[in-house]
Amino acid sequence: MIHAVSALRLAGAVAAAKAVAGATRVLRLGGGTVLPGRVARWLFPRVLEELTGALDPVVVVSGTNGKTTTARLVARALEVAGLKTVSNRAGANLQAGLVASVALASDLCGRPRAQAAVFEVDEATLPAVLPVLRPRVLVLTNLFRDQLDRYAEVERVAEGWRRAFARLGPTAVVCYNADDPQVADVARLAPAGLPFGIEDVSAGQGALEEAADVRFCYRCGVAYRYSVVFLSHAGHYACPVCGWSRPAPCVRAETVRLVGTSGAEVLLRWDGEGFVVRSGLPGLYNVYNLVASAAACRALGLPADVWRRAAESVRPAFGRGERLTWNGVALRILLVKNPAGFNEVLRLVVSEQPRSLLLAINDRTADGRDVSWLWDVDFERLQGLEAHVTVSGLRAEDMALRLKYAGWPEDRTTVERDLARALRRARDRTPAGGALFCLPTYTAMLELRRVLFRWGVVAPFWED
Amino acid sequence: MDLVLVHLFPDLLNLYGDRGNLVTLRERARRRGIHVVVKEVRLEDDLPADGDLYVLGGGEDRQQALVARALQQHAGTLRAAVAGGAVVLAVCGGYQLLGHGYRAAEGQQLPGLGLLDVTTEHPGHRARRLVGNVVARCTLPGVGSLVGFENHGGRTRLGPGVQPLARVRVGFGNNGHDGTEGAWCGTVFGTYLHGPVLPKNPRLADHLLTLALRRRHGDVRLQPLDDRWEEAAHLAAAARAGLRLRR
């Protein structure tokens, strides 16, 4: 009897989610990636557990940066392996977003029209959803400073993860970034760990960046010694006191060749096997996403070739370096969320020597309401670039001031709060056939997307 | 003219873009032709006694505990420097450690330097963090409004030996109750504002620079700078906090 009641409530919740999603689409209220989930959870709080119970395997990806791309890579690999896979796209990575994605991919009885699932989950939400989703594989990408107004402290997120491991199933495998000392330290408590990382020291850089936040051994409180740093605090490290050091990765990038904003060539080693993958995803941060997804595939028991085919077919998503053409100008949009990511994007952008840049900084909840983090980004790196910078967004003035104190000339900076106007002005500064690089925060990226949709340059978000 | 800036524990107390304060002090001095020497002090280093201006930022609880211990060893040097007219600016976690002490969320007691007559207690992780945009009226002459962002669990109470740095118009301030923000006494200044605090509050930055330069260079008066962008950012931050300011 109880079972029948739950089945009815589940069907009701799924139907409501579908109705709400349909309505938001018809009314053009947006992508409909969250609200349907809220309604379904309100009608039936256990909806996520019920909907995902029959899915196998379930893969969960969490961490500060790289969630979306890593999850896309793993989902593509499962599809290549012939498994119909449901996943939460568009960064709807809180509980409501997860519910919406599965509800919309289920029939009215609440049976998912898929076998497997890949979810990206917000790092602070992870402890709450692990017991519900019971993933076969959990991927932890990294822990950087991000939205301190919401998470308070990176250390608090790490503590949440430590506690969450107790609720993992006994057969679950945790794929973790061995190069991130905080993630690797957290993973010491995982039931079964599979470390991944980058071996190629020639891809490293010298000093630690300003934004690097964990450089002290969790146990000893002493600064780690690094032999190489790849990005932010990710690298090869060891504690000089207790001797704990970077775990040797099982899945690793042996050699890395970055090809500007067009992609990367990576020699990947997976157990004894080594093979070259040519990816269209640019930047060293995407090499980490590639290796992370490879580790997940190995944990799932997929053949290496399935992963390689998937990795080579995935193109950058909107806001992650997707290539667009607009009025004879190549438009490259690269999302910036936190100092670690912003520094990597700047490195990438500077290597392309663009003549025009657009920086769009908002301070809404999803961006982080505190813009202090702009001072942890190495804008000094822009020095020497022959470019004009247009700044926009709700915090355009903060961005302009940061540039001024980074030594960027005031006469090569334009402040234009309105994003549509800023985009036009930045385009006017771009030579014909040249590239305009747009670096928006999350909500500025959504706004940019709406503007470009209005102008007929891109499709609406939910058609991704 | 020259100025010695001492940045305490840049590798531990650098949570909220704190280096922005250093950059601002350095650049605003340089633009006036002042020769600036920056000395960074790490855990194992001695504290230079010849600083004109000492800057401490904020950190996570774990870093703050490491720093509290180290600061005790430097207490004598820092007190002597302040007695000799040196300026101290401390933000958030650093501000808490300038007071008599800090009781952390788990009840652990961290000793302070006692340079400011303030005490701080964290009411526990169940209590709400004081987070958000701040606009406040500064008590220092000629500074006017202050803007910034606060994010702290600790509640700070002021004793009779200090003045509040500002009166809150939007935000929580020291403790969310008495309307005060930060504290100062003589040449020692503490605040919960980051953003960081100095770039968007250039008048406060110049106030600190003037005090620091007067320690060795007599009655210094700083020449004005072109602060259009600084003022624009100040007004924009106030507007995001819901206040339309005129400066």
Q: What is the pLDDT of residues B57-101, one digit of tens each?
A: 987 777 788 888 889 999 999 999 999 999 999 999 999 999 999
> What pLDDT score was predicted for residue A170?
85
Residue A381 distance to chain B (closest CA, Å): 15
Q: For residue B73, what are its two tokens?
A: 């060893």
Domain with CATH 3.40.1190.10 in chain A: 56-91+116-313
Residue A194's Cβ-side half-sphere holds a number of Cα atoms within 13 Å equal to 24
Average pLDDT for A291-296: 97
pLDDT-derived band at A1 (thresholds 50, 70, 90) equals very low
User: How many angstroms separate the Cα of A150 from the Cα of each of A234, A332, A436?
Assistant: 23, 29, 32
> What pLDDT score was predicted for residue B175?
97
> What pLDDT score was predicted for residue A462?
46
Mutate which of B13, B15, B61 to test chain A, going by most A C-beta atoms within 10 A? B15
pLDDT greater than 80 at residue A459: no
Residue B163 distance to chain A (closest CA, Å): 26
Residue A215 to residue B240, Cβ atoms within 8 A: no
pLDDT-derived band at A106 (thresholds 50, 70, 90) equals confident
Percent pLDDT > 70 in chain A is 92
- Residue indicated by tokens 């690298």: A235
Show which residues of B are catalytic.
Answer: 92, 194
Percent pLDDT > 90 in chain A is 54
- Dump the DSSP string for A374-434: GGGS-GGGGTT---EEEEESTTHHHHHHHHHHTT--GGGEEE--SHHHHHHHHHHTSPTT-
Query: Among A147-161, A171-185, B160-174, B200-214, which is the least confidently predicted range?
Result: A147-161
Smallest CA–CA distance from B196 into chain A, residue: A372
Identity of the residue numbered B201: N
Q: What CATH class is the domain A320-463?
A: alpha beta
User: How many angstroms separate the Cα of A304 from the Cα of each of A156, A291, A297, A378, B115?
Assistant: 36, 12, 8, 37, 62
Query: Among A172-176, A239-243, B56-60, which is the least confidently predicted range?
Result: B56-60
Smallest CA–CA distance from B134 into chain A, residue: A370
Residue B219 distance to chain A (closest CA, Å): 27
> What pLDDT score was predicted for residue A45?
84
Beta carbons of B130 and B148 less than 8 angstroms apart: no
User: How many angstroms separate the Cα of B12 from the Cα of each of A211, A214, A215, A369?
Assistant: 11, 9, 9, 23
> What pLDDT score was predicted for residue A27?
67
Q: State how far Cα B6 lies from the chain centre.
A: 13
Residue A395 to residue B18, Cβ atoms within 8 A: no
CB of B50 less than 8 A from some CB of A? no
pLDDT greater than 90 at residue A179: yes
Residue A373 to residue B233, Cβ atoms within 8 A: no
Q: What is the DSSP letter of A106?
A: B
Chain A positions in Cβ-Cβ contact with residue B57 (cut-off 8 Å): none
With an 8 Å Cβ cutoff, the interface of chain A facing chain B consists of 145, 148-149, 152-155, 210, 213, 215-216, 221, 223, 363, 369-376, 394-398, 400-402, 404-405, 410, 415
Strands B180-181 and B166-170: antiparallel
Chain A positions in Cβ-Cβ contact with residue B229 (cut-off 8 Å): 397, 400-401, 404, 410
Strands A116-120 and A58-62: parallel
Beta carbons of A306 and A81 less than 8 angstroms apart: yes
Strands B188-191 and B183-185: antiparallel
Among the listed residues A68, A60, A78, the one whose alpha carbon sits nearest the alpha carbon of residue A138: A60
> What pLDDT score was predicted for residue A327?
86
Chain A positions in Cβ-Cβ contact with residue B20 (cut-off 8 Å): 372, 375, 402, 405
The pLDDT tens digits of the residues spanning A344-396 come to: 899 889 988 999 999 999 999 889 899 999 999 999 999 989 999 999 999 99
Beta carbons of B17 and B196 less than 8 angstroms apart: yes
The pLDDT tens digits of the residues spanning A151-170 come to: 557 788 888 999 888 888 88
Beta carbons of A286 and A67 less than 8 angstroms apart: no
Percent pLDDT > 90 in chain B is 82
pLDDT greater than 60 at residue B216: yes
Chain A positions in Cβ-Cβ contact with residue B93 (cut-off 8 Å): none
Beta carbons of B178 and B154 less than 8 angstroms apart: no
pLDDT-derived band at B215 (thresholds 50, 70, 90) equals very high
Smallest CA–CA distance from A155 into chain B, residue: B60
Residue A369 to residue B11, Cβ atoms within 8 A: no
The C-alpha atoms of residue A176 and residue B156 are separated, in whole angstroms, by 40
Chain B positions in Cβ-Cβ contact with residue A215 (cut-off 8 Å): 11
Q: What is the ipTM of this complex?
A: 0.96
Q: How far apart are the first and last CA of chain B?
A: 30
Smallest CA–CA distance from B128 into chain A, residue: A152
Q: What is the mean pLDDT of chain A?
A: 88
> What pLDDT score was predicted for residue A464?
42
Domains and CATH numbers, chain B: 2-219+227-240 (3.40.50.880)
Q: Which CATH number fits domain A56-91+116-313: 3.40.1190.10, 3.30.70.360, 3.90.1150.10, 3.40.50.300?
A: 3.40.1190.10
Task: Identify the H or E element spanning A312.
Answer: helix A304-313
Residue B194 to residue A154, Cβ atoms within 8 A: no
Average pLDDT for A204-222: 70
Residue B66 to residue A376, Cβ atoms within 8 A: no
A12: exposed, middle or buried (C-beta count within 10 Å: 0-12, 13-18, 19+)? Answer: middle
Nearest CB to B17; choose among A153, A376, A415: A376
The C-alpha atoms of residue A274 and residue B117 are separated, in whole angstroms, by 64
Chain A positions in Cβ-Cβ contact with residue B149 (cut-off 8 Å): 149, 369-372
pLDDT greater than 80 at residue A5: no
Nearest CB to A372; choose among B62, B153, B194: B194
pLDDT greater than 50 at residue B243: yes
Chain B positions in Cβ-Cβ contact with residue A396 (cut-off 8 Å): 236
Smallest CA–CA distance from A364 into chain B, residue: B240
Chain B positions in Cβ-Cβ contact with residue A410 (cut-off 8 Å): 229
Smallest CA–CA distance from B236 into chain A, residue: A397
Q: For residue A423, what are its two tokens?
A: 């985009």
